[in-house]
Amino acid sequence: MQRISPDVYDREYFLSNTCEGADEFHAGKGLSQLKARQVSRLRPAPGLRVLDLGCGRGEVLLACARAGASVAGIDYSRAAVAISEETLAGVLGADVRQGDVTHLPWDDASFDAVLSGDVIEHLVPSDGAAMLREAHRVLRPGGRLLVHTAPNRLFLDITWPLARWPLIWAGHRETVDALEHWVTFSKEFHVAEQTLHGLRRSLRRAGFAAPRVWIDSAIVRDGSHHTTAGLRDSWFMRAGQRLAALRAVRLFAGNDLWAVARR
């Protein structure tokens, strides 16, 4: 398994829906529903220092800065750093660097909160483990790491091959085709999709003693993702949401994995 070249992540990648939240970003550097939830869970406030690992376009850092936090970001894509610098041009003291999340250029105990939003699935396992160790190192005692990753590998490997047929029979062939196209295309960028238990183990090995890891109960984001918008009001989605109240169902049917880990 090889690292993905940073040149793959060009300006077109970040300014298209290949990178989640592009539509909202183009509408005044706004946040997608998913990124707004990330900011809410980071709880930025005056006096806090926030680091975004794989900062992409920089809109999460901008939202944190507007809440009063001091912000820093790193991305190994030159295009991402350029876009983030444009996004944060009016933010005093914003610190955006091109670099490797496996070797962070900041001192120990530098940050109150660290975000890894939709990054670990793009990293080979050894690099993902190194990123989590580095996040632990740069957090201050009591500081929090927030991780989001999607899709859930168990959904792709087990649930989706079964669920696609009922969806087709229910008249959602267009949505099925769109989702399968996205899954196939995403394999160009995703080299280590996660499971709940695997992510928990990785966080513990990185030094986080008691990470909280969970799968969101909103099955495929309630149809809010551009590939599943056609399911938003379907009986299939409503039935899935009721079943998602069961933790065992979410383990295989949910797609958004979250973790909060304290140093």
For residue 219, the one-letter residue type is I
Low-confidence ranges of the chain (pLDDT < 70): 220-246
CA dist 223 and 221 (Å) reads 5
Residue 181 lies in a domain: no
Half-sphere exposure of 80 (CA within 13 A, CB side): 26
* pLDDT given for residue 186 in this prediction: 80
Contact present, 140 and 48 (Cβ < 8 Å): no
- Is 180 inside a domain boundary? no
196 within a domain of the structure (yes/no) = yes
Q: What is the pLDDT of residues 148-177, one digit of tens each?
A: 999 999 988 998 888 888 788 888 888 888
State the amino acid at position 119 in one-letter form. V
Q: Which residue has the tokens 């979250």?
A: 258
Does residue 166 fall inside a structural domain?
no
Q: Which two tokens stand for residue 232?
A: 């938003």
The domain in which residue 69 lies consists of: 6-152+190-223+255-262
3-class secondary structure, 158: helix
**Structure confidence at residue 22 (pLDDT):** 96
Residue 107 falls inside a structural domain: yes
* pLDDT reported for residue 153: 94
**Is 85 inside a domain boundary?**
yes
Q: Tokens for 49? A: 């220092």
Structural domains in the chain (count): 1
**Cα-based torsion angle of the residue sequence 170, 157, 215, 61 in order, rounded to the nearest 10 degrees:** -100
The CATH code of the domain that includes 204 is: 3.40.50.150
Number of Cβ atoms within 10 Å of the Cβ of 239: 12
Q: State the pLDDT at residue 43.
A: 97
**Would you say residue 208 lies in a domain?**
yes
In this structure, are residues 216 and 258 in contact, taking their beta carbons and an 8 Å threshold?
yes
pLDDT value, residue 234: 64
Residue 135 forms part of a structural domain? yes
